[in-house]
A and B are shown apart, each in its own frame.
Chain A
C-alpha cells in the first residue's frame, strides 16, 4: 500500500518474531461492522493463523462467543484491509457458537500477492447476523491475515517502532 516504506518494512519484518506456532500470518477475529441495533447478533472473538510455502496455503483458527451458530466461513480478498471484498475459498467451520475453522488451498499468483500484501481476510457467518448489509451476508466475525508480528499484552509498552500494517506490510 505504501511502497516507499518497503525497506523499513523489511527491516521491521526481520525484527518482529513469529508466534510460537511458526505460522507466516496471523489475525485476531473481531465483530464485523455493527451498531447498537445489530450488536445483539454480531459478536464473538477468534484467532487464526495461516501459512504459505509457495504452494499450499493452510488456514486454521478458532472462534468463541458468537450469539448464534456459525453457518459458514470463508477466505476473502479485499482491496485493502477494512474493506469487504470477494469470496475466494470456503473453510471448514464448526456449526456452533464456538469452534474451529480450517482449510488448505492452492493460491494463484494474484492470490499469493494478496496474501503477501495483507489483503486476505477470514469471515465467519452466523445464523442470526443480519443479511441486509452489502458486506454480509450474515457476516459476524472477520480479521485480516497480516504477516506474523510481535504482540504484547494490554498496557505493556513496546519501545521504538511498532507494527503498523500500512508501514510494515509489503505493498506488492
Chain B
C-alpha cells in the first residue's frame, strides 16, 4: 500500500536511530546481543510468551508470529530498538512493563536469534538500534539455544518495573500510559518507550494466586436428580437452561414471562458467587431442576443451588491458567452440556469429561486427538473452547489448535458416545484433495491446509437430524503467506451442515472465500422457521447477517449491519463478495485496512432470537484495524460511529428488516438473552448489565457490576420464580483487547470473576 513510503521511513529510521550504525551487524556478521542473553531469553520467552506466541514463535489467534517470513515482513524494515519498545510496553498481554529491563532485552535477543541473527560480545540494550533485516533473515538456526537454569525473577521484576511515584493498579493489568492531558510531556529525544513509561502507569495488576489443589474438592449428593432425556433437549422445560443457547436451534430465548417490561425496573440481586480468578471466562451457566452448573477457570466445575447459591459440589479438573491475571482467547470454554445423569465438559486443553451431575465425580474422560503430541515438546494437538452440543446420545465438540503448516493434523468436529466417551465420528473441516471443495486451496498439499477451527458449539434441527456449525478462517490468516492463491479455501469461513448421526456432509456454504484478515464466520447458526421455510441465520466478524436455506444451504438474503470496507462489492441479493484490490493483491509487509477488524462486527457474543416477535437481537462492535502479514495490528474507531465501539441492533428475520439500534462507547461482552416478557438482557465492557425492551431497544433497567460483564446470560426459574444469571470476568482476545486499548477512559479492576443472579423482589 505505501511500500515506498515505508521503505523511506525505514531507511530514515536507520540513519536517524542507528546508534551502532546500520552496517555494524550485517547479516551473517556477529553481534547485536550475547549468547547469555539468548539463553536467558529462551527461559523467559517460554515462561511469559510461548503460551500465546507458541514455542516455535509461529503465533496463534491474536498473538502475531515472531519468527519466519511473517515476522520479517512486519519487522524487517524496523529497528531492534522499536521491537524492544513494542515488547516492553505491551507485553505480556495485560502486563506491559511488568517485567524487568533485563528480561525484556533477553526476550528480544532470543527472538532475534530465532530469526537468524547471530550472537556476539556486545550486549543488547534498549538503545541498541539496528535495522532487523540487516542482521536477521527469518530462518531459525537448527538448534534451539539451551535455556538458562536461572528462574525468571518475576517478583523482583515487578518491583523493579514500578516507576517512581507510580500509583496502584486500577486497570485490568494493562499498562496505563500517561493520560492524554496529563504528564505525557516527555523531554525531547526520548524514545516512544520512554515516553510511554513516564507518568502514571501500572506495572502490576496485583498479586494473583493460581490454584495448586485439584480434583473433587467437594463431593455432592444431589437427591432426586431428574435425568436429562433426548425429549427434554428437544423441548426444554421452561424453567431450565440445558445447553449453550437454551435450545437446539440456538435461540437464547426463554419462554418465562414473569419478568417483563412492566416490572423489570425492580429487578434486584438475589445472590452472587465468586468464581476462580485468573484466565478467561466466557461461560454459559446451565440450570436443570433447580441446580445451576457453572465452569470456572482451571476447569473448575461447580454445582450450586440455583435459588440460594449454596455450593453443592466442586470438581477442579485443572490445569490452572498458564499465568496469573486475565488470560488469552485460548483458555476458555463457552458451554457445557447435560444428558442423562451427567454433565459434559470440554476443556481448552482438548479433554472431554463426563461428570456425574449429582456428585461431581468423573465418569469418563477422553481427548479429542487422543493426546497426540506436537514434536519437540510443543504440547498436545487439539484444543476445544466452544462448548458442546449433545444430540441423540452423542456429545459433539469442535476443535482449535489443529496443527501447523506441514504436519498431518487438521481441524475436525467429533462426536462421542455420551455413555462411554468412545469417538463415534469426525468431520474434517478443511476440504482435502479429492473431496468436495478440495480444489479450492490453490493446489496446496493437504498438509498445508490449515484452519477451519470450530470454536463455537453447533446447533441442531431435530426435524432433519442436521447439525449446523460455523468454521473459522484458513491459516495463516493472510493468503500471501498461506499460499492458497485465489482459492476459496473451503470449508473455512463456512456454514457446514452435517448428519448428526454420521457426521456426513449434507451441504456447506463458504461466506468469505479466501479470507485474509481474521474475519471469522464461525459463530452461532440460528435455526428459524417461517411457514414452510426453515432458515439458518448467522453473522460473522464482517457484520454481514446471512440467511441460508437450512435444507440446502442456498443463499436467501443478507444484510450489512455495520460499516465495512473489506468488500469492494457485496451483493445483498446473491451473497457474492469482491475483496478490495489491495486485499486481493496483498504483500506480507503491507498494512491493510480492515473495517471491521478482528473484534468484529460480530464476535462470540451471541445473538438472541425472540421468537414471538421474529426479532434477532445482535451485539455488534465497531472498530477497525491496520494489519500486517504476521498479524500485528493497530486499532482505530470505525468511521461514522463517533467513537461508539458498541452497538445493539435488532432485525426481523423474515425479511431482515432493521427494527432498532443503539450505540454506546463500550462494546457488549455478553451474548443476549431474550424472554417472553419482551425483555432482553446484555452486558458490556464497562461493567453495565442492562435490560432492554425487545420491541424498541429502550433501556428499562441496568446495574453496574464489579468488572466487565462477560459471558452468556441465561434465564431460569425455581419454585415458580424467574431469575436472570450472568457472569463478570476478564480474558479473551480481540473483544477484550481492542476496547482495552481504544477506550482509555474505561477503568476496570483486574479481578472480579463472579456469577450474579437477579430476580424480582419477594
Chain B 557-588 interface mask (CB, 8 Å, partner A; 1/0): 00011111100111111000000101000000
CB atoms of B636 and A67 under 8 A apart: no
Pick the residue among A38, A68, A79 that contacts B192 (CB under 8 A).
Answer: A38
CB atoms of B636 and A39 under 8 A apart: no
CB atoms of B643 and A45 under 8 A apart: yes
Closest chain A CB from B343 CB (angstroms): 37
Q: Which of A117-163 contact B (CB under 8 A)?
A: 128, 130-137, 142-144, 146, 151-152, 154-163
CB atoms of B643 and A28 under 8 A apart: yes
Chain B 8-21 interface mask (CB, 8 Å, partner A; 1/0): 01100100000000
Query: Which residues of the other chain, B, contact A34 by a CB distance below 8 angstroms?
Result: 634-636, 741-742
Query: Which residues of the other chain, A, contact B561 by a CB distance below 8 angstroms?
Result: 164
Is B434 part of the contact surface with A, judged by Cβ < 8 Å? no
Query: Which residues of the other chain, B, contact A75 by a CB distance below 8 angstroms?
Result: none
Pick the residue among B6, B594, B641 that contacts A134 (CB under 8 A).
Answer: B6
User: Given A80-B565, A81-B595, A155-B662, does the pair A33, B9 have CB atoms closer than 8 Å?
Assistant: no
Is B453 part of the contact surface with A, judged by Cβ < 8 Å? no
Is A167 part of the contact surface with B, judged by Cβ < 8 Å? yes
Is A99 part of the contact surface with B, judged by Cβ < 8 Å? no
Query: Which residues of the other chain, B, contact A2 by a CB distance below 8 angstroms?
Result: 569-570
Q: Which of A72-111 contact B (CB under 8 A)?
A: 79-84, 97
Q: Which of A1-52 contact B (CB under 8 A)?
A: 1-2, 4, 28, 30-41, 43-45
Query: Which residues of the other chain, A, contact B662 by a CB distance below 8 angstroms?
Result: 152, 154-158
Query: Which residues of the other chain, B, contact A131 by a CB distance below 8 angstroms?
Result: 9
CB atoms of B90 and A37 under 8 A apart: yes
Query: Which residues of the other chain, A, contact B635 by a CB distance below 8 angstroms?
Result: 33-35
CB atoms of A36 and B89 under 8 A apart: yes
Closest chain B CB from A43 CB (angstroms): 4
Closest chain A CB from B181 CB (angstroms): 5
CB atoms of A155 and B82 under 8 A apart: no
Is A66 part of the contact surface with B, judged by Cβ < 8 Å? yes
CA distance A144 to B625 in the complex (A): 16
CA distance A65 to B643 in the complex (A): 15
User: Given A36-B177, A167-B560, does the pair A135, B595 have CB atoms closer than 8 Å?
Assistant: no
CA distance A66 to B642 in the complex (A): 17
CB atoms of B175 and A36 under 8 A apart: yes
CB atoms of A135 and B665 under 8 A apart: no
CB atoms of A82 and B593 under 8 A apart: yes
CB atoms of A82 and B639 under 8 A apart: yes
Pick the residue among B174, B636, B663 that contacts A31 (CB under 8 A).
Answer: B636
Query: Which residues of the other chain, B, contact A41 by a CB distance below 8 angstroms?
Result: 184, 192, 195
CB atoms of B563 and A40 under 8 A apart: no
CA distance A132 to B6 in the complex (A): 8
Could you say which of A41, A45, A131, A136 has the most chain B C-beta atoms within 10 Å of its C-beta?
Answer: A41
User: Given A83-B593, A157-B698, A164-B563, does the pair A135, B626 have CB atoms closer than 8 Å?
Assistant: yes
CA distance A8 to B595 in the complex (A): 22
Residue of chain B at shortest CB distance from A41? B195
Closest chain B CB from A109 CB (angstroms): 23
Pick the residue among B193, B595, B660 that contacts A157 (CB under 8 A).
Answer: B660
Interface size class of B (residues with CB under 8 A): 35 or more
CB atoms of A134 and B591 under 8 A apart: yes
Pick the residue among A39, A84, A97, A165 that contacts B563 (CB under 8 A).
Answer: A165
Closest chain A CB from B176 CB (angstroms): 10
Query: Which residues of the other chain, A, contact B180 by a CB distance below 8 angstroms?
Result: 43-44, 65-67
Query: Which residues of the other chain, B, contact A152 by a CB distance below 8 angstroms?
Result: 662
Q: Which of B1-31 contact A (CB under 8 A)?
A: 1-2, 5-6, 9-10, 13
Q: Which of B521-568 contact A (CB under 8 A)?
A: 560-565, 568
CA distance A144 to B570 in the complex (A): 21
Pick the residue among B185, B571, B640 that contacts A165 (CB under 8 A).
Answer: B640
CA distance A79 to B2 in the complex (A): 13
Closest chain A CB from B93 CB (angstroms): 9
Query: Which residues of the other chain, B, contact A30 by a CB distance below 8 angstroms?
Result: 636-637, 643
Pick the residue among B13, B580, B658, B741 that contacts A80 (CB under 8 A).
Answer: B580
CA distance A81 to B624 in the complex (A): 11
Could you say which of B641, B644, B662, B744 has the most chain A C-beta atoms within 10 Å of its C-beta?
Answer: B662
Query: Which residues of the other chain, A, contact B399 by a CB distance below 8 angstroms?
Result: none
CB atoms of B193 and A37 under 8 A apart: yes
Could you say which of B624, B640, B742 has the most chain A C-beta atoms within 10 Å of its C-beta?
Answer: B640
CB atoms of A144 and B634 under 8 A apart: no
Query: Which residues of the other chain, B, contact A133 by a CB distance below 8 angstroms?
Result: 9, 591, 634
CB atoms of A35 and B634 under 8 A apart: yes
CA distance A130 to B81 in the complex (A): 14
CA distance A148 to B453 in the complex (A): 42
Closest chain B CB from A123 CB (angstroms): 12
Query: Which residues of the other chain, A, contact B367 by a CB distance below 8 angstroms?
Result: none
CB atoms of A132 and B78 under 8 A apart: yes
Residue of chain A at shortest CB distance from B180? A43
CA distance A142 to B2 in the complex (A): 18
CA distance A163 to B661 in the complex (A): 10
CA distance A4 to B626 in the complex (A): 28
Chain B 86-113 interface mask (CB, 8 Å, partner A; 1/0): 1001100000100000000000000000
Closest chain A CB from B630 CB (angstroms): 14
Closest chain A CB from B60 CB (angstroms): 19
Residue of chain A at shortest CB distance from B175? A36
Chain B 256-272 interface mask (CB, 8 Å, partner A; 1/0): 00000000000000000
CA distance A39 to B573 in the complex (A): 41
CB atoms of B640 and A159 under 8 A apart: no
Is B659 part of the contact surface with A, judged by Cβ < 8 Å? yes
Closest chain A CB from B204 CB (angstroms): 16
Is B699 part of the contact surface with A, judged by Cβ < 8 Å? yes
User: Given A4-B571, A39-B177, A40-B177, does the pair A154, B697 have CB atoms closer than 8 Å?
Assistant: no
| B→A interface (CB under 8 Å) | 1-2, 5-6, 9-10, 13, 78, 82, 85-86, 89-90, 96, 174-175, 177-178, 180-181, 184-186, 192-193, 195-196, 199, 560-565, 568-573, 580, 582, 591, 593-595, 624-626, 633-644, 657-665, 696-699, 741-742, 744
**18 pairs across A/B with beta carbons < 8 Å?**
A4-B572, A32-B636, A34-B636, A39-B741, A39-B744, A40-B178, A65-B180, A65-B181, A67-B180, A80-B580, A132-B9, A136-B9, A154-B662, A154-B663, A154-B664, A154-B665, A164-B640, A166-B565
Apart from A82-B563, A133-B634, A165-B640, what 14 extra A-B contacts exist at CB < 8 Å?
Answer: A28-B643, A34-B636, A40-B195, A41-B192, A65-B180, A82-B565, A82-B595, A128-B195, A134-B9, A154-B664, A155-B664, A155-B699, A157-B662, A166-B570
